[in-house]
Amino acid sequence: MWAAGILVLACRAIAAAQTGTAEPGPVAVAAAAESAALEAAAPTAAQVEPETPIETVADPNPKPFIRVLPNLLTDLRQLVSTKDNGITWAIGGASTLALVPFDDDVSDDLSIPSSGGVMHAATVFGSGYVQFGGAVATYVVGHLAHHKATAHIGADLIRSQVLTGFVTHGMKLAVRRDRPETSEGSSATFSFPSAHASATWTSASVLWRHLGWKVGVPASVVATLVSASRVEQRQHFMSDVAFGAVVGIASARTVTMGHGTGRRVTIAPVPLRRGMAVMATIGSH
């Protein structure tokens, strides 16, 4: 809940910065003086025009819980039919295939997984329960505080988490890839793609689309750390987390289509020698 409260403050600060007014220049001062002179000369003719209401952008996703199924069906169609998502799938898919030959070598070279520390904390933070719970908390806080921007972000986070979870676990059942380190009787789901990576990357991408790079970059750093922790914990191969990131990013772009920050941001994993990096390209819509 405290994270959702911080998000409310961030939304208000960004809204205040966007609605700030500039200091009037010489032309504006001269026009104001002329207008005042005309009003003094003919006071009886002065009329007060009604104030024009400020146009507000309606939340396109006002009921994220009631419309779960209709939203999911719509999002599944758009997930593979838009040009931007096509680019994300192409870059991410190629990067994932490039990492597959190195999966076993990297996993075998890792030390014994840590039972605490930063990597363990990142794994806990990236779980679907935490990510979806944070999305619900953001929506509830924004709704109760009557802060439409925060409620809108929370609704998009919920919608993207539902889409990401559906696609990720559907692919797990279809591919049925075993994890790098499993034990007999383990109840863990299959390895490809990583649900932790997809959940955290979809949250980071939604926040970037709504609040810009100042929030998006730190959120992407956290998502990268979570993805790395899953490899370090030997719960996933590199290609698992790479494609999980692709699923999360594409899902977030699908949900936030049409109400971004005015900049097109494409994020995709890029293979390196015995590792991977994250590439972000920023351009105009």
pLDDT, residue 44, reads 41
Would you say residue 20 lies in a domain?
no
Would you say residue 208 lies in a domain?
yes
Would you say residue 164 lies in a domain?
yes
Those residues whose C-beta lies under 8 Å from the C-beta of residue 151, and which sit 6 or more positions away, are 59, 139, 142, 143
Domain count, the chain: 1
- The answer to whether the beta carbons of residues 61 and 71 sit under 8 Å apart is yes
Would you say residue 109 lies in a domain?
yes
Please tell me the least confidently modeled range out of 37-41, 63-67, 69-73: 37-41
7-44 pLDDT, tens digit per residue, is: 555 555 555 555 544 445 444 444 444 554 444 444 44
Hey, what are 188's tokens? 């863990």
Would you say residue 171 lies in a domain?
yes
Range of the domain at 231: 62-178+190-284
Please tell me the least confidently modeled range out of 16-25, 58-67, 130-139, 163-172: 16-25
Would you say residue 273 lies in a domain?
yes
Would you say residue 36 lies in a domain?
no
Please tell me the least confidently modeled range out of 164-178, 196-210, 248-262: 248-262
- Percent of residues, the chain, with pLDDT higher than 90: 47
Would you say residue 112 lies in a domain?
yes
pTM greater than the 0.75 cutoff: no
Which residue matches tokens 């205040």? 16
Which residue matches tokens 């990510």? 131
* Chain centroid, CA 109 distance in Å: 32
248-281 pLDDT, tens digit per residue, is: 999 999 999 865 544 555 555 555 555 555 555 5
Confidence of residue 89 (pLDDT cuts 50, 70, 90): very high
Handedness of CA 107, 112, 117, 121 (dihedral sign): positive
pLDDT, residue 70, reads 87
Look at residue 180 and tell me whether its pLDDT is greater than 80: yes
Asked whether the bond before 269 is cis by omega within 30 degrees of 0, the reply is no
Those residues whose C-beta lies under 8 Å from the C-beta of residue 270, and which sit 6 or more positions away, are 91, 95, 276, 277, 278, 279
